[in-house]
Amino acid sequence: MNLSDKDKSYRGNSSQFFIAGELCRRGYAAVVTLGNTPNTDVLCSNRDGTKFVHIQVKTFVPGNKTCSVGKKAERAYGSNFFWIIGGIPTPGSEFPFRYYIVPSKEMADNVSARHREWLSVLGKKGQQRKDSSVRAIAVEEGAAAYFWNIAEYEGRWDLIEDALRN
């Protein structure tokens, strides 16, 4: 077992830097906030520094069907707020890096609706489900139907580019 398998925070931290690096590669200024900015893991601006987007990063291991996003995914933070769900492969993996760029409002609307749907359906043993802070989304085919599948947002860097241009 390697170090990244022992502690998910290593993978999560690396994901923030991979995402900031990808944004820099695309010609933007991006900084990892290191936990110093509420709800913003990466702050990104256009070259002039006149427009900004806030990015919340969540990480999954490619090959997994879902990614946990938590209860705060149900809150729309505004038009300049994005979630980037980073598929960061473990060292030596044959899986590629994967990035899903999801606008805050889309995340909030869909995660909230799917969670309410999940609560309304009885559990496996016929019991009423109990609410919790757990929220997840589907990143692969084959996840349970009540998970919102974000496949349409894979590689959608153009959404951030548009927000920094307009």
CATH topology assigned to domain 3-165: Trna Endonuclease; Chain: A, domain 1 (3.40.1350)
Contacts of 79 (CB under 8 A, 6+ apart): 103, 104, 105, 163
Residue 165 near residue 93, CB atoms below 8 Å = no
Find tokens 């291991």 and name the residue: 61
CA neighbor of 114 nearest in space, from 134, 87, 93, 100: 134
Q: Where do the domains of the chain lie?
A: 3-165
Query: What does each of the 166 residues of the chain score in pLDDT, given as a tens digit?
Result: 454 455 677 888 899 999 999 999 999 999 999 988 889 999 999 999 999 999 999 999 999 999 999 999 999 999 999 999 999 998 899 999 999 999 999 999 999 999 999 999 888 899 999 999 999 999 998 988 889 999 999 999 999 999 999 6
How open is the CA angle 47-100-19, to the nearest 5 degrees? 45
For 52, the 3-state DSSP assignment is strand
Phi first, then psi: give them for residue 57, nearest 5 degrees: -105, 135
